[in-house]
Chain A
């Protein structure tokens, strides 16, 4: 009995981690003018961020089609008995819906596909997939994997500090943070996902202060089982943050990962953040 673990590209899982844990990543789509790119395959994060500040180009994103999911599931079904498919918050994207529809199709063909809505994004989702992959590697069953996915997602947090509200506003996915938008003062919002929706954490006037707040939030969440420091364009700053929160990371210095084109399209250049999972004992 072998189980395949699937997630989507909004998990922002670095390629080496995904392949190490045998996690398949289904790409969302990025639309720039008349072109469509598969997230992380046809367009890299770096290319995306080069295009973003151009006011004439307002990229949009879309969920993978049911057909895309079916392609992945069918290929995996050749070598696996069952599939667990772990995804981005259903309140932010139709990705989960596409996966559910593809799963029904697979079931009629005799392959069990369990789909989990993590209500998370980025490395909070990515680490959830990793925890599930770790359980599966140790011989966990599909039911145990579903329980682990839900449990890990509940212990996960994704927090981002946005350099400007512009990208978030034009992307429209601001959820409960919409009250932030009108302020005549310049500030950097710190945002998180709660119950799958964007929630405001705080508004900081100064980036240094915001970075300090991110570090405090990481410290407050400890002990941790997983930690990644995230950035869109400023890797150096992310590395500095990672070094200063090493004490909280489970295995030495935390992973530093770039936010991918989809999540990055909403957070914009200059965004910093983290994705973590608290230790099970502290949950």
Chain B
């Protein structure tokens, strides 16, 4: 895929607000999930294919960019309607639809992002299609204009200009259009690297963070198990429920006596055995994803198997990464809370979130995304399940923990939603980390290896090591705090937690401070100021 060859460049472009660079990976994996779901044969008409693609794109959407990408496929499906062949007009309509629904899907649409690229491409494709409705002709124009639109993003979003990059998601979309066009022309787009359209035609030299890319490639886990079941009268909903219970990322769809099952799990035999109850199996594909995956699956099984099989009045699903934070959330969740692994560098997909919600032991589920980039995917979940799902828009894990403390298992979902929403504005979000590359963040040049502290959306301190910037952060923002909670990252040893606690107590004796092991990657300290 064209995205594959350009993924690392797209990742490197994704540097804001913390250089977590996962846009390329998220988009690639989202697109892969579409392709995994494509029908095998070529006999399907364009509208049939588009419908399948739209559904699988949404279910496989990973991260913010993946979800915005899914809006494009949804748009494509609606634009084609009952027509059987894809034209330039359909293409124009699909981008228009993608643009409109993406703007709607995000709580705070920001210009200079993928949204802008969508909107400008929609305008251009409409004009082009009016002149010549041929698909190849329209796509050729859009492919060129998409890159130009990407080139202009730093003019609209000052942070991009500061960091000397262009928008990563927008570039990913342009790469995808280019790949699709070349494929349409009969060329092989695989391996083609597209130069980043930097302003003033300068060259993008972003170093590639291989450690990060490695990490994001570890998103998948266990065995990806895909197979078809052939039988008349398959109860798809029942099958889907069962598969979702035993595995993750379950996608089960079907028509005319064939059901397609896609599930990630540690023991693919379980899914196959279950499938055999429904009919004959075919097209079995099992891929080992990686080793970290199986730990994850085992963790997850522990979480769910210990739950009482009785349904609870309300359950909570919280997204978190880090052993300490997971324990903290489970222990604070009043026996009704499960944790879905994910965070900055590993945005769970809509289907991951959906699977966790379906597995939660209640018909009423509160979802805590705990990350700005996971909120849009979380907001898709309520429409995809029969359960009553409320998304509390927690921007950070610190806010998520504060919201969870408001959770009360004797109250109904409405009261809980209200109480949990009420604290969102009361938590200041502090973070301390070490820059993994040279970056220009909120107007401050930060050299690779420097420690820096942010609070909400500003830089508070830059220094040589994390503890000193942490104390500067507390000095600057802790004065009027009722309580400050500090979650230590996986870079801090156990005895480092005690010494941090002691040092802070000595320095800030009059402040109420609690230091607790978080175990999160990337951030040496996460700080909640209440």
A interface list, Cβ under 8 A from B: 176, 179-180, 182-187, 194, 199-203, 205-206, 208-209
Contact = CB atoms under 8 A, between A and B. Distances in A.
B406 A202 contact: yes
B410 A199 contact: yes
Contacts of B401: 185
B332 A206 contact: no
A208 to B, nearest CB: 6
Nearest to A201: B408
Interface string B266-291: 00000000000000000000000000
Contacts of B408: 200-202
Q: Closest 5 CB pairs between A and B?
A: A179-B334, A206-B482, A183-B332, A182-B331, A205-B483
B215 to A, nearest CB: 26
Contacts of A201: 408
A194 B411 CA distance: 12
Nearest to A186: B514
B336 A187 contact: no
B482 A208 contact: yes
Contacts of B328: 183-185
Nearest to B325: A184
B52 to A, nearest CB: 43
Contact of A185 (B335, B409, B410, B516): B516
Given A183-B332, A209-B482, A203 B512 contact: no
Nearest to A194: B410
A91 to B, nearest CB: 15
A136 B165 CA distance: 82
Contact of A205 (B331, B336, B410, B485): B485
Interface of B: 327-328, 331-336, 401, 405-406, 408-410, 419, 482-483, 485, 512, 514, 516, 530
B143 to A, nearest CB: 52
B485 A185 contact: yes
A228 B341 CA distance: 47
Nearest to A209: B482
Contacts of B482: 205-206, 208-209
A208 B483 CA distance: 10
Given A185-B516, A206-B512, A206-B530, A179 B485 contact: no
B409 A179 contact: yes
Nearest to B482: A206
Q: Of residues A186, A194, A205, A206, which shows the largest number of chain B Cβ atoms within 10 Å of its Cβ?
A: A205
Contacts of A183: 328, 331-332, 405
B405 A185 contact: yes
Nearest to B405: A203
A252 B150 CA distance: 69
30 contacts: A176-B409, A179-B334, A179-B335, A179-B409, A182-B331, A183-B328, A183-B332, A184-B327, A184-B328, A184-B331, A184-B332, A185-B401, A185-B405, A185-B514, A186-B514, A187-B405, A194-B410, A200-B409, A200-B410, A201-B408, A202-B405, A202-B406, A202-B408, A202-B419, A205-B405, A205-B512, A205-B514, A206-B512, A209-B482, A209-B530
Given A206-B530, A208-B482, A209-B482, A185 B406 contact: no
B166 to A, nearest CB: 42
Given A184-B516, A185-B516, A206-B512, A176 B410 contact: yes
Given A205-B530, A206-B530, A209-B482, 10 more contacts: A182-B331, A183-B332, A183-B405, A184-B328, A185-B401, A185-B405, A187-B405, A200-B409, A200-B410, A205-B482
Nearest to A205: B483
Contact of A180 (B334, B419, B483, B512): B334
Contacts of B333: 179
A4 to B, nearest CB: 37
Nearest to B333: A179
Contacts of A202: 405-406, 408, 419
Given A176-B410, A179-B409, A206-B512, A185 B483 contact: no
